[in-house]
Structure formats: structure tokens, C-alpha cells
Structure 1
Amino acid sequence: MTDALDLGTDLASVVAEEPDPVLFATVSGAHLYGFPSRDSDVDLRGVHLLPTADLVGLREPAETRSRMWVREGVEMDLVTHDLRKFVRLMLRRNGYVLEQLLSPLVVRTGDEHRELVALAPGVLTRHHAHHYRGFASTQWRLFERTGELKPLLYTFRVLLTGIHLMRSGEVQADLPTLVGQIDSPGYLPDLIAEKAEREHGAADVPHARVAEDVERLHTVLDEAQAASTLPDAPSARDALHDYVVRVRLAADRSASASVVA
């Protein structure tokens, strides 16, 4: 964990309190993206494993769970999906869940997490550009309505993440790292520094200038997608199916053994 996330023991204990096994939990949000503020929320994301009985009966299970709490004035939230739902999201060109899976800010991990990370490259396609293009457009509209710095940084972050992914096949969510690797507006490091001091506030940069830069990066993303060597469809669908079945069956055997013992 980073200094801004000097909460490792606390976060791990919260994850351990979940009613079903948590296969992994990582930190997402501004801390992952490289522009947390002093009072940024801590966003925990991960995967839990429902009992098989919950999935084959008539009742609809809670495939997504969330909880929020406050520690020393900092708001925290934990959102987890059941493994099957999470893997389905991975196969739907969802860059957001891939960023959570591959986050270097790890609170809980294990063999199942490491195996899923190893399978992640097999879901990457050139069509993930659509996810980042759409996310950028949503954040840009929010910036145009509010003039706030946060959605502007999100706009640049997702555009640069999409460009980097199309060019390299690597999911990189950290904006300062991306700025160092891709031709980016020169004012971005200053905006990142501003965001570190305040979670909310206006972006101190001319609207016309940022609009031109955002439009240019959209064009760069289009070009990167057209030239990308990423495939058109995931290659890991069967492997992921086998993985989900195997992890679920192993958990059932472990639970049965515990009952017998």
C-alpha cells in the first residue's frame, strides 16, 4: 500500500468479515489512477464466491454486494461481484473490471486471484477502445456541466488508458505513468498536483484548450484502435469457463470436508 493508503490491516480485516469467501480485493478509484486527494474516498473492489446452492435454486442470489463505512473521516466502500458475474463482465469488453483485477494495490489475494490475472490477457480485444471512448465522453459531459477538475482528469485518464491498451496490450490505469509514456497535454502534471490538494474544485485551464486536447486524444485513440494488433474476440472464454467451474467445485469440496470434520 502507498502512504495515502496506510490502512492495510484495517482494509484486510473488513474484507475478512464478508459472509462468503473473497477471492481478491484491490484498491481502485483515484488511488489507482494516480491522483488521490488528501480526503479521497478509498474504493475497494473484488470478487466473492457464492455457494453453489445459491446459484442453482429458485431464489435470485445477491451477485453484487456493497458496503460503506467511515474511518478517521475517510469514506470507504467495498463492492464485490460473485466470481461468475465478474468473469462475465470481463468478457464484455469491460475495462473497468480489468483495472480492478490488475490493480497493484492489493488488499487480499491468493491462487485464484493469480490465476485469473494470468487469464486476463485472453479477454483483451481491440473493441475495449469502445469502453474507454464511452467513459471519456461521459466524464467530458460531466466536466462541461460542472467545470470541475475531477471529471476532467478522468476524461484524460481513460483516453490515455485506452490508447496505451490499443498500442501495447497492457492495462495501465495510473495517469502519471501514462503521461510519461504518451504525448499528453503539458498541463496535466499541474492538474494532478492540484487534485492532490482538493477533491473538488474548478479546473484552472481554459475550456477551449482542453476541448481541443480531448478531441485530439479521441482521434489518437481511434487511430490506435485501427492499428492495434489485439484480436477482435476474446480467446480465453473456454479457459475462463473451466476456471469458474473448477474454483466453485473446489470450494464446495472444501466446505463439505469442513462439515464432515
Structure 2
Amino acid sequence: MTALRRAGVHADLSAVTAEEPHPLVFATVSGAHLYGFPSRDSDVDLRGAHLLPAADLVGLREPEETRTAMRDADGTELDLVTHDLRKFVRLLLRRNGYVLEQLLSPLVVRTGETHRELASHAPGVLTSHHAHHYRGFATTQWRLFGRTGELKPLLYTYRALLTGIHLLRSGRVEAHLPTLHGEVAEAPGRLPELIAAKEAAEHGVVEAGLDTEAVRSEVEHLHTALDAAQAATRLPGQPSAGAALHDLLVRVRLG
């Protein structure tokens, strides 16, 4: 059984990525399947990087640095988003945890030597400021939960905070919520129950009996833990992989 099938992705995604007009550096699955709480009706979020020809970057026309497409694969709706490699690297160097998780996702659809080399530089882009990314993402999702009462943004809130705490403490990127539940001491005990409830429907709402004040307290506690992890982290304030990533980009583009 492949990692994709274990994560609940049963569609054949390789044919979809083969249709892209520019060579793909890599493509991986992100979103709820990566985070460990897909629903039976979840879309598949496919993310990655493509490589534009050098001529597209030196002329007058604006290059297509980001491509998006919605497609159907074996009856599953697929959301495909890729960035040109230069933009992807720039995002990596701007404490963007989202693209970092895409790069290191174990749910790999397309890969190659450039993907592997790019991933090898991931430790050199980690900084203490990644806390800002996860704090901000969690805050946005918490507000969305307050407006909708849906399980999805609540789980995204927990996931973002726990990933940030884990990263700042360990120097490792872990986006899988069930794994984080077992590895981060502050993870709320209710998470397995919430994950099981979300499996039934992508936009399901929380049960009427959920103690929202207790949930609020848990989220506030995780924010406090993230602040403490940032203050104590051994991660540097600035990325160290900039020069190596520049060399990689030039070599791949001209090659």
C-alpha cells in the first residue's frame, strides 16, 4: 500500500501532473490528507513547483509564476497549484511554512533529483520566525471557526499551532495532526474524537455538546506554548541556505 493510499488518496494523480505545460520539479499532496484528517468527500490539494524556460523570464511579458487548475481524477476533485522554482525558493526563504510542508510532504506524486536536492536544503531555511507563520495561520483559522462553527477550521487551528511548537522545539517539520497528538505534550486529548467526526463530512459542524470555552482555553494555551517555544528555540533568526539555493536555481534553470 502506498503512502498516498494510506493517507486516503485513491485517485491516480500521475496522469494529471503529466498534462502540465512546464516540467514539474515536484508535486506532492498537501491539505487535509497531509494533515491527517481528510473527509470522505475531501478534495485533493496537489502542490509543487514547475520550471519555466529561461526565455520566459528575460523578456517583456510577465511570466506565469503560479499556475492553478481544478481537475477531476477518477471522480475526485483535484486542486493543483504550482509555482515557478524561483518563486518557490523565494517563498521558502520568507519563513513560509506552507511551502516548506509541501516540499517535505511524504505524499509524493512527482519527484526527481532537483526535488531531492531542494529538500536537502530545508534545514537551512528554518528560523525562529516560522513561529509568525503558524501563529498567523492559526489566528485566521480560529476566526473562521468562530464564524462557521465547522470542524475543519478548528482542526486547522490546532494543527498549525502544534506544528509550530514541534518545529521550534525539534527543528523538524511535522504536519500530521495524529502524529503531533502523540509527540507534543500540550496537544488536547479531544483531537482523535474531532478527527473522527470530520471524516464524515468536509464541512461538518461541531457537536452541540462541545465545550467551546474549554476549546478556547486550549487554543490560548497552545499560543502560550508557541510563544515559549519561540523564545527558547535553537533555530537561527535568519536562513542560512540562501546562497546554496541561488546556485541550485541558476544551475537548474540554465541546465
TM over 0.5, yes or no? yes
State how far apart, in whole Å, the 1-side matches of 2:125 and 2:222 are: 24
Correspondence 1:4-43 to 2 at 5 A: 4-7=8-11, 10-43=12-45
TM-score when scaled to structure 2? Answer: 0.95
2:191 pairs with 1:188: yes
Give identity over the alignment, percent.
71
1:61 aligned residue (23, 47, 63): 63
Indicate the residue corresponding to 1:228 in structure 2: 233
2:201 aligned residue (198, 208, 214): 198
State how far apart, in whole Å, the 1-side matches of 2:201 and 2:19 are: 32
User: What is the one-letter code of the residue matched to 1:137?
Assistant: T
2:241 pairs with 1:239: no
User: What is the one-letter code of the residue matched to 1:203?
Assistant: V
2:170 pairs with 1:168: yes
2:129 pairs with 1:127: yes
User: What is the one-letter code of the residue matched to 2:251?
Assistant: R
What's the CA shift for 1:71?
3.5
Indicate the residue corresponding to 1:152 in structure 2: 154
Q: Structure 2: 5+ residue runs without aligned partners?
A: none
Correspondence 1:56-95 to 2 at 5 A: 56-95=58-97
State how far apart, in whole Å, the 1-side matches of 2:91 and 2:228 are: 26
State how far apart, in whole Å, the 2-side matches of 1:32 and 1:143 are: 20
Indicate the residue corresponding to 1:212 in structure 2: 217
What's the CA shift for 1:21?
0.5
What's the CA shift for 1:72?
4.5
1:52 aligned residue (26, 50, 54): 54
Based on CA coordinates, which of the two structures has the bigger radius of gyration?
1
Partner of 1:43, secondary structure, is: strand
Q: Structure 1: 5+ residue runs without aligned partners?
A: 251-261
Partner of 1:242, secondary structure, is: helix
State how far apart, in whole Å, the 2-side matches of 1:162 and 1:119 are: 19
State how far apart, in whole Å, the 2-side matches of 1:194 and 1:37 are: 9
Indicate the residue corresponding to 1:258 in structure 2: none
What's the CA shift for 1:121?
0.8
State how far apart, in whole Å, the 1-side matches of 2:171 and 2:213 are: 32
The answer as to whether partners of 2:13 and 2:73 remain within 8 angstroms in 1 is no
Partner of 1:75, secondary structure, is: strand
Question: Which whole-Å deviations, capped at 9, do the CAs of 1:202-221 have from their partners, x for residues lacking one?
Answer: 12222111000000000000
Q: Which has the higher helix share?
A: 1
The answer as to whether partners of 2:16 and 2:73 remain within 8 angstroms in 1 is no
Runs of 4+ in structure 1 deviating by more than 6 angstroms, as ranges, are none
State how far apart, in whole Å, the 2-side matches of 1:201 and 1:61 are: 39
